[in-house]
Amino acid sequence: MPVPESELPPPPPPRLSLAARLRNYLFAGILVTAPISITLYFTWSVVSWVDEGVARVLPDAYNPSTLFRISVPGLGLVMLIVALSVIGFLTANFLGHALIRFGERVLAKAPIVRSIYSSVKQIFETVFRDQSGAFREVVLIEYPRTGVWTLALVAGRTDGELRDRLPEDMLTVYVPTSPNPTSGYVLFVPRADAIRVDMSVEDCLKLILSGGLAAPKANGPTPVTPRR
């Protein structure tokens, strides 16, 4: 009695040639070593850059390479962290506040420097403030035209003169570009037209850096009907 085709064992997979197996082994090796190598390279580059900067600032008598007769990787980074912590501790008392106010009064008299300083200071205070929600939320917006969507980071609610002149409740969002998210566009969009997503800022940046290849996994369906 013939055996039904559905009960027959599946045919064995085709045998790969030696060249095909070597090619697969090569690709597998690249997939394993490339992310680790690139991560180590960038980490080492940052540490070396900080070490070289600290070494140029320190006098030769206090240079770690002179004191220990050997180069200690990462020691400059540790010294920079300690120095910044000490500066933060000193500025937290009355004398530190007085020195900062004096320095700001001096900078306020410089025509160009005062604009740069005030802008940079406002950015850092907004981003690092504990209660700040800047760049901690990811939304979808229609940009650059209707029917085309892009990811954006919420910088905050649109306030000041812009809020008074715009007709609706608006959000200030930052649209990072790929593959360099440090360049992008600042847009003002109606709050009702911004679709909140569960994606973290880290996953959003991964997606942008990879040109759309590193898509995060969905946490679940979230049906949203944008306002038209």
Statement: the pTM of the whole predicted model exceeds 0.85: no
What is the mean pLDDT of the segment spanning 113-132? Answer: 70
In this prediction, residue 174 has a pLDDT band, given cuts at 50, 70 and 90, of very high
Q: How far apart (Å, rounded) are the C-alpha atoms in residues 222 and 228?
A: 18
Task: Identify the three-state secondary structure at position 126.
Answer: helix
Q: How far apart (Å, rounded) are the C-alpha atoms in residues 69 and 92?
A: 36
Percent of the chain with pLDDT over 70: 81
User: How many other CB atoms sit within 10 Å of the CB of residue 135?
Assistant: 18
Domain ranges of the chain: 138-209
Residue 173, CA distances (Å) to 29, 63, 133, 179 in order: 40, 45, 12, 18
Pinpoint the alpha helices (H) of the chain: 18-57, 64-68, 75-91, 94-107, 113-128, 161-165, 201-209
Tell which wins on pLDDT, 123 or 161: 161
pLDDT tens string 175-206: 998 888 888 899 999 988 999 998 888 888 88
pLDDT tens string 43-89: 888 888 888 887 777 777 767 667 667 777 777 788 888 888 888 88
Q: Are 179 and 208 in contact (CB under 8 A)?
A: yes
